[in-house]
C-alpha cells in the first residue's frame, strides 16, 4: 500500500512541474592529460500557476546535467502574481549579466509575444498575455535570469497596500 502512495506522489510531482531545456552546451576543460569533456544544461522549471525557476546543471553526461539543472531550478523559484486575464499586474524591467528584459502586460487574447528563453520563462510561469523585449545580450542564460528577475519584482495592489499599512480602497483614490 505504501508503494502505491509513493508512486502516485511521484506522478503528481511530475505532472505539476514542467521542465524545458533551453540550451545544452558541450564544454571542455584543458587538464594535464588532455581535454575533459562535460555538459552544461540550462533548464527552466515551472508549474504554469505562478511559479518559475531558472537552473543550470553541469555534468559529464547530458542526462545528469539536465537533472542537476531541474534541481537547481526548483531551488531558485520565483513567485509571479498573475491577474485575472492571465497577465502581469504592471510593466517591469529585469537584468541578468549583460542582458536586460522589458516585460509589459497585454490585453486578453494577445498571447505571449517574446523571444528565446524569455518566452519559455513566461510560458512556464503561467503568463498567457504579455509583451516582452530582450535588450542587450542574446545569451539564453542571462536572458532567462533577467526575465526571472523582472517577474520577481512584480507586486500586486494588495502587496503595496499591505506594505504601506493602507486599505486597498485608499490606493485607488
CATH class assigned to 81-160? alpha beta
Per residue in 58-111, pLDDT (tens digit) is: 999 999 999 999 999 999 999 999 999 889 999 999 999 999 999 999 999 999
Q: How confident is the model at residue 171 (pLDDT cuts 50, 70, 90)?
A: confident
Q: pLDDT band at 118, cuts 50/70/90?
A: very high
CATH class of 2-78: alpha beta
- Which of 52, 110, 119, 57 has the alpha carbon at shortest distance from 81? 52
Higher pLDDT, 169 or 121: 121
Which residue in this structure is represented by grid cell 519584482?
153
CATH 3.30.160.20 domain range(s) in the chain: 2-78
Long-range contacts of 25-28 (CB under 8 A, 24+ apart): 27/58
Alpha helix segments (H runs only) across 89-134: 116-125
Where in the sequence of the chain do the CATH 3.30.230.10 domains occur?
81-160
Region of 48 (left: φ > 0; alpha: ψ -120 to 50; beta: rest) is: left
Statement: residue 54 has pLDDT above 80: yes
In this model, does residue 3 exceed pLDDT 80? no
Amino acid at each position: 500500500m505504501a508503494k502505491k502512495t509513493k508512486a502516485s506522489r511521484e506522478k503528481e510531482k511530475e505532472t505539476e512541474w514542467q521542465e524545458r531545456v533551453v540550451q545544452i552546451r558541450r564544454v571542455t576543460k584543458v587538464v594535464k592529460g588532455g581535454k575533459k569533456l562535460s555538459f552544461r544544461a540550462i533548464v527552466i522549471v515551472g508549474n504554469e500557476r505562478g511559479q518559475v525557476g531558472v537552473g543550470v546543471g553541469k555534468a559529464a553526461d547530458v542526462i545528469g546535467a539536465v537533472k542537476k539543472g531541474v534541481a537547481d531550478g526548483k531551488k531558485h523559484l520565483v513567485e509571479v502574481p498573475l491577474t485575472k486575464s492571465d497577465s502581469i499586474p504592471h510593466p517591469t524591467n529585469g537584468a541578468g549579466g549583460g542582458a536586460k528584459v522589458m516585460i509589459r502586460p497585454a490585453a486578453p487574447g494577445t498571447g505571449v509575444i517574446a523571444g528565446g528563453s524569455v518566452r519559455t520563462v513566461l510560458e512556464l510561469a503561467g503568463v498567457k498575455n504579455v509583451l516582452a523585449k530582450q535588450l542587450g545580450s542574446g545569451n539564453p542564460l542571462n536572458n532567462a535570469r533577467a526575465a526571472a528577475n523582472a517577474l520577481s519584482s512584480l507586486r500586486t495592489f494588495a502587496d503595496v497596500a499591505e506594505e504601506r499599512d493602507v486599505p486597498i480602497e485608499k490606493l485607488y483614490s
